[in-house]
A and B are shown apart, each in its own frame.
Chain A
Amino acid sequence: MSEATVADTRRLNSKPQDLTDAYGPPSNFLEIDVYDPQTIGVGRNRFTTYEVRMKTNLPIFKMKESCVRRRYSDFEWLKNELERDSKIVVPPLPGKALKRQLPFRGDEGIFEESFIEERRAGLEQFINRIAGHPLAQNERCLHMFLQEESIDRNYIPGKVRQ
């Protein structure tokens, strides 16, 4: 029997794809928008909140659509919770801008429109990156941040199962 010196490179057999899978919505739909910054309060007690709106079809999230208001320190809280409880390398937040909070500035400091827009974009990138992480999706803190009206800082940290 002669030995073939040309390798057989034909494709392996594969199952044909179901058309509803091929043309249906993908199972990885996850979109989070951070927008509509609103500055609340007067004088030195002002702060800015952003609307965080999520749309998804991932089964791990209880609500397929949610809409909450969050401020910068809420994002910081989420980052700290994830850094402590999970093994994830958490992406960076946009800067704290402490210099902008000092008095005697020529502009509005942290309430300057261009700064708020820069921060909004950074927060949007941050939350999209972390919410798409398979390990972060198991953390209670992420679900509370995205889908509960307010953040209970005295919550019991834990994991979420599907």
Chain B
Amino acid sequence: MSFFSFGQTAEIDIVLNDAETRKKVEHKTEDGKRDKYFLFYDGETVSGKINVTLKNPGKRLEHQGIKIEFIGQIELYFDRGNHHEFVSLVKDLARPGEMAQSQTFDFEFTHVEKPYESYTGQNVKLRYFLRATISRRLNDICKEMDIVVHTLSTYPELNSSIKMEVGIEDCLHIEFEYNKSKYHLKDVIVGKIYFLLVRIKIKHMEIDIIKRETTGTGPNVYHENDTIAKYEIMDGAPVRGESIPIRLFLAGYEMTPTMRDINKKFSVRYYLNLVLIDEEERRYFKQQEITLWRKGDIVRKSMSHQAAIASQRFEGSASSEKALSQAKDEDD
């Protein structure tokens, strides 16, 4: 910004070509606010225009070049000076010269690779943005526009259930089972806890979802744990042979896909923590990692098929199974 009444300055405005049709999503900023940004996927082209508007009419704008960059970078909060850029593309829009009037420049970054999902966390931020720069001798004029990238996956080929027997010898033995090890963000965790031996006085049981953000390497590894959800699944004292069902809908919680060793800089992993609390407030727990993934939106099939699947929610319904196969035949 120029404080002198002589000289010229300009405003840059970045506009995407598909601004009208492209979907926007909410994303948390570093200070906790939620803003909406354009949503992109890996491989999509990023194209648009930058409008350079001269502030003082009649005066010329001298510059050392105008360019636009597409950047994907990881920023560690404890090392702010160093931005780790994993995607860095640049397009020159104008050679050094003079601008006599406001102008618009087109740009296109074709089929840009966006390998990771946008993430704003406790100690690290991964972001993608467009940056238009008018280079000048004393101070550049810059404008940034953030976008959000989601990484999509499909149903994993192998998705075994998690089933384990744990306990304290001669005191408490349980067998816990979760129907899958990989869940998408709108999935349901279906499971059960079976009590084999109960020699302590249990008051209640809950299942927590814990998000662990790991930053740093070697001796400077730092874990940040955040309990995303606490969900009580049992109130009261169970005895041997009892089975407690679990049905936990993930869509209600704010979560990201599991991110493993992103660019060797950070990880975001999710754990289910089964917690039993006894009469004296002692806590017994078992933590188990789950993998979360993001499913793409799918166009809905015929309503009858949907209704048939919904009726199948009630266990052991023979008529609903018949309705399902019938609806499926109608569909195909």
CB-defined A-B contacts under 8 Å, sample of 13: A2-B331, A3-B155, A3-B298, A5-B300, A6-B313, A7-B187, A8-B190, A8-B312, A10-B313, A17-B243, A22-B239, A132-B279, A134-B172
Asked whether, in the complex, the Cβ of B168 is within 8 Å of the Cβ of A134, the reply is yes
By Cβ-Cβ distance, the 4 closest A-B pairs, closest first, are: A14-B243, A17-B241, A21-B241, A134-B171
A151 to B279, CA, bound (A): 28
Cβ of B310 < 8 Å from any Cβ of A?
Answer: yes
Cβ of B240 < 8 Å from any Cβ of A?
Answer: yes
Closest to A128 in B: B280
Q: How many residues of B contact A (CB 8 A)?
A: 45
Q: Contacts A6-B309, A28-B201 given: A132-B278 contact, CB under 8 Å?
A: yes
A11 to B237, CA, bound (A): 21
Asked whether, in the complex, the Cβ of A162 is within 8 Å of the Cβ of B243, the reply is no
A interface with B by C-beta (< 8 Å)? 2-12, 14-15, 17-18, 21-22, 24, 26-28, 30, 58-60, 91, 128-129, 132-134, 137, 162
Cβ of B89 < 8 Å from any Cβ of A?
Answer: no
Which one of B168, B200, B298 has the highest number of Cβ atoms from chain A below 10 Å of its Cβ?
B200
Q: Contacts A5-B300, A7-B187, A10-B315 given: A15-B278 contact, CB under 8 Å?
A: no
When distances are taken between beta carbons in the complex, the residues of chain A under 8 Å from B131 are none
A3 to B297, CA, bound (A): 12
A24 to B197, CA, bound (A): 14
A58 to B186, CA, bound (A): 44
Q: Contacts A7-B188, A21-B241, A27-B240 given: A2-B200 contact, CB under 8 Å?
A: no
When distances are taken between beta carbons in the complex, the residues of chain A under 8 Å from B332 are 2
A132 to B310, CA, bound (A): 46
When distances are taken between beta carbons in the complex, the residues of chain A under 8 Å from B155 are 3
Which one of B172, B278, B280, B301 has the highest number of Cβ atoms from chain A below 10 Å of its Cβ?
B280
Closest to A56 in B: B199
When distances are taken between beta carbons in the complex, the residues of chain B under 8 Å from A58 are 199
When distances are taken between beta carbons in the complex, the residues of chain B under 8 Å from A7 are 186-188
When distances are taken between beta carbons in the complex, the residues of chain B under 8 Å from A30 are 201
Asked whether, in the complex, the Cβ of A11 is within 8 Å of the Cβ of B315, the reply is yes
Asked whether, in the complex, the Cβ of A9 is within 8 Å of the Cβ of B280, the reply is no
Closest to B244 in A: A14
Contact of A134 among B200, B243, B312, B314 (CB under 8 A): B200
Q: How far is the CB of B237 from chain A (nearest CB, A)?
A: 7
Closest to B280 in A: A129
Q: Contacts A21-B241, A132-B279 given: A12-B191 contact, CB under 8 Å?
A: yes
Cβ of B260 < 8 Å from any Cβ of A?
Answer: no
When distances are taken between beta carbons in the complex, the residues of chain A under 8 Å from B242 are 17, 21-22
Asked whether, in the complex, the Cβ of B171 is within 8 Å of the Cβ of A11, the reply is no
Asked whether, in the complex, the Cβ of B282 is within 8 Å of the Cβ of A18, the reply is no
When distances are taken between beta carbons in the complex, the residues of chain A under 8 Å from B170 are 59-60, 162
When distances are taken between beta carbons in the complex, the residues of chain A under 8 Å from B197 are 27
Cβ of B212 < 8 Å from any Cβ of A?
Answer: no
8 other A-B residue contacts (CB within 8 Å) besides A22-B242, A27-B198, A134-B199: A8-B309, A10-B190, A11-B245, A14-B245, A15-B194, A15-B243, A26-B198, A132-B279
Asked whether, in the complex, the Cβ of B301 is within 8 Å of the Cβ of A2, the reply is yes
Cβ of B192 < 8 Å from any Cβ of A?
Answer: yes
Asked whether, in the complex, the Cβ of B306 is within 8 Å of the Cβ of A5, the reply is yes
Asked whether, in the complex, the Cβ of B278 is within 8 Å of the Cβ of A14, the reply is no
Interface string of B300-327 (1 = CB under 8 A from A): 1100011001101111000000000000
Cβ of B179 < 8 Å from any Cβ of A?
Answer: yes
When distances are taken between beta carbons in the complex, the residues of chain B under 8 Å from A5 are 298, 300-301, 306, 309
Contact of B179 among A12, A15, A24 (CB under 8 A): A12
Contact of B309 among A4, A60, A132, A133 (CB under 8 A): A4
When distances are taken between beta carbons in the complex, the residues of chain B under 8 Å from A129 are 280
Asked whether, in the complex, the Cβ of B237 is within 8 Å of the Cβ of A26, the reply is yes
Q: Contacts A2-B305, A17-B241, A21-B240 given: A11-B172 contact, CB under 8 Å?
A: no
Asked whether, in the complex, the Cβ of A133 is within 8 Å of the Cβ of B280, the reply is yes
When distances are taken between beta carbons in the complex, the residues of chain B under 8 Å from A91 are 280
Closest to B328 in A: A2
When distances are taken between beta carbons in the complex, the residues of chain B under 8 Å from A4 are 309
Cβ of B23 < 8 Å from any Cβ of A?
Answer: no
Asked whether, in the complex, the Cβ of B306 is within 8 Å of the Cβ of A6, the reply is yes
When distances are taken between beta carbons in the complex, the residues of chain B under 8 Å from A18 are 240-241
When distances are taken between beta carbons in the complex, the residues of chain A under 8 Å from B237 are 26, 28
Which one of A8, A14, A24 has the highest number of Cβ atoms from chain B below 10 Å of its Cβ?
A14
